[in-house]
Amino acid sequence: MIVHNDKHSLAAWLLCLLAFAVVCSATTSAAAQAADTVRIGSKNFTEQEILAELVAQLIERHTDLRVERTFGLGGTGVCHAALVAGELDIYVEYTGTALLNVLKHEVRTNADDVYQIVAKAYRERFELVWLPPMGFNNTYAITVRAGHADEHGWQTIGDLADVAGQLSAGFTAEFMERPDGYPGLRRAYGFDFGQTADLDPGLMYQALADGQVDVICAFATDGRIAAYKLKVLHDDRSFFPPYDAAPVIRHALLHDHPEIRDVLAVLAGTIDDRTMRRLNHTVDELKSTPAKVARDWIESRGADSPHRTSGRADVPIDGTVSIWAMVATRRAELWQKVIEHLALTALAMVIAVLIGVPTGILIHRHRAAAPLVLSATEIMQTIPSLAMLAFLFAVYGILGATPAVTALVLYALLPIVVNTFTGLKELSPEIIEAADGVGMSGGQRLWMVELPLALPIIVAGIRTSTVWTVGIATLSTYIGAGGLGDFISRGLARNDPRLTLLGAVPAAVMAVILSLAIRLVERHLRQA
């Protein structure tokens, strides 16, 4: 197991940026929204998607409102900021998370107290309403392999104190930084684990079962705890607060559409820990989809009228179907994601070329500015992609294509600027003198001689950028911009390699095809 210590500082930085996003967005006026559309968000793990689907499908069935789904967002910070900014209308949050991470209060252990505090503070500070809790407590659960625990007689977290130094822990990035995560846990229990690794929430159970790590911060409602023969250690110092799940909704929306409160009332107190674990298990291990699981749950409640809308075009998936069958059944969705991905890439590239080529020309003409501009674009390149996305989300305060395309443009600039500059700089001085000597103006020399001759090199830069952009665009999913990254992150969240491949393979193919196409253009230009 490779342990990335430097990832911690990155995670810290990311969280700072997300916190900044919260502040920024809180000061931004709520964006105007289409009156008849409800935008529902979720974080990037299975349970969140199931709950978001439940909310979405209930609204679709029982109201005339249109539902827009923005699932798989990169963490609490993004969801909360989007809700405050009016970019989302509803998502499901956990009381303990709101108390500690959003409101920054002290830890409390009484579930009712926490709910009251959180509901009041959200109403007053953010004009957000907490609907009644759904009935389960998805607490963090410090979890080990059952066999390992039996061997050493571990029952409680406190039992690990003496051996923690020899254990390696796999925690989610969020847990690594939250006050009710590892930092608080170390203080409460007074020990450090020997090694820690940041793991994707979808992967940590398998990593623990396989023995790659010894301890994880499981979610109590995850079906994989039982399925993988894992053991949750008792929180003997009552460190973790309650994490009761409940929909959080913008007050303005509830005011305009009070019927939503009635429609979602069916969720109050009806999903207990066991039910939630079963629903998660159905998606994570039996390879169903959140949409189908939600639909089955709603229909099993019986008291429902027939479908009014079909919900998302999700097709039930059998855990054993091959990737080819998956492609076949999800063709429409796959096609849509490919188009989204292509659109993100194309838009970013057009803007990058429109900015990058003139910039390259300018620094060629004004050579003194070249080192400054080139190092600026180089520095841009070194910013980790997720940090860039989080930062731009903070700057814009909105989700979706705008911050995503901005990030892609910033990454795409370097090869275009460098190649334009180099292509012009390396033209033969004799040709330039001839252009001047026959009486061309600066502009005529540029259009008639310099750009045509530098074009193959400029296009080579555009090709490099395009390939990068297709790759980086897969991360746009974390700020809700869609594209093939949606499949990749869902695949990671559900530990389903088929879904990951469904996103990764088309992205790779797209990069190769675009690269070949641009190479053909280049060859044509070089011959001409």
Partner 1 sequence: MIRLTDISKSFDGGRSHAVRDLSLEVQDGETLVLLGSSGCGKTTTLKMVNRLIEPTSGAVTVDGRCVTQHDILPLRRSIGYVFQGIGLFPHMTIEQNVAVVPKLLGWPSERRTARAQEMLSLVELDPVVYGRRRPGDLSGGEQQRVGVARALAADPSYLLMDEPFGALDAITRDVLQQELLRIKRELGKTIVFVTHDIFEALTLADRIAVMHEGRLEQVGSRREILAKPASEFVRSLFAKPRAQLELLAEQ
**CB 332 to partner 1: min, Å:** 46
Residues near partner 1 (CB under 8 A): 428, 430-431, 433-441, 444, 448-449, 452-453, 528
Instruction: Select from 174, 198, 4 the least CA-distant residue to 78.
Output: 174
Structure tokens at 442: 């600066």
Instruction: Select from 131, 383, 327 the least CA-distant residue to 244.
Output: 131
CB atoms within 10 A of CB 200: 16
d(CA 108, CA 93): 17
**CB 369 to partner 1: min, Å:** 25
**CB 448 to partner 1: min, Å:** 8
Contact (CB, 8 A) for 525 and 456: yes
| Helix and strand element counts for the chain (H, E) | 24, 10
**CB 443 to partner 1: min, Å:** 11
Contact (CB, 8 A) for 408 and 485: no
**CB 416 to partner 1: min, Å:** 21
Contact (CB, 8 A) for 106 and 435: no
Comparison of 173 and 446: residue with beta carbon closer to partner 1: 446
**CB 444 to partner 1: min, Å:** 7
- Across 420-436, b (16+ Cβ under 10 Å) vs e yields bbbbbeebeeeebeebe
Comparison of 252 and 451: residue with beta carbon closer to partner 1: 451
**CB 454 to partner 1: min, Å:** 10
Comparison of 238 and 441: residue with beta carbon closer to partner 1: 441
Comparison of 190 and 442: residue with beta carbon closer to partner 1: 442
Query: In the sheet where 195-198 sits, what is the strand order?
Result: 195-198, 168-171, 215-219, 140-145, 230-232
The length of the chain, given as a count of residues: 528
181-186-187-190 Cα dihedral, nearest 10 degrees? 150
φ, ψ for residue 271, nearest 5 deg: -115, 105
Comparison of 310 and 441: residue with beta carbon closer to partner 1: 441
Comparison of 394 and 457: residue with beta carbon closer to partner 1: 457
**CB 428 to partner 1: min, Å:** 8
φ, ψ for residue 213, nearest 5 deg: -130, 165
State how far Cα 259 lies from the chain centre: 31
489-494-495-496 Cα dihedral, nearest 10 degrees? -80
CB atoms within 10 A of CB 501: 17
Comparison of 183 and 452: residue with beta carbon closer to partner 1: 452
**CB 424 to partner 1: min, Å:** 14
d(CA 480, CA 487): 12
Comparison of 29 and 428: residue with beta carbon closer to partner 1: 428
Looking only at the bridges linking them, the beta strands covering 37-43 and 168-171 are: unpaired
d(CA 432, CA 454): 12
Comparison of 30 and 453: residue with beta carbon closer to partner 1: 453
d(CA 474, CA 510): 12
- At position 463, the amino acid (one-letter code) is R
Comparison of 3 and 448: residue with beta carbon closer to partner 1: 448
Comparison of 286 and 440: residue with beta carbon closer to partner 1: 440
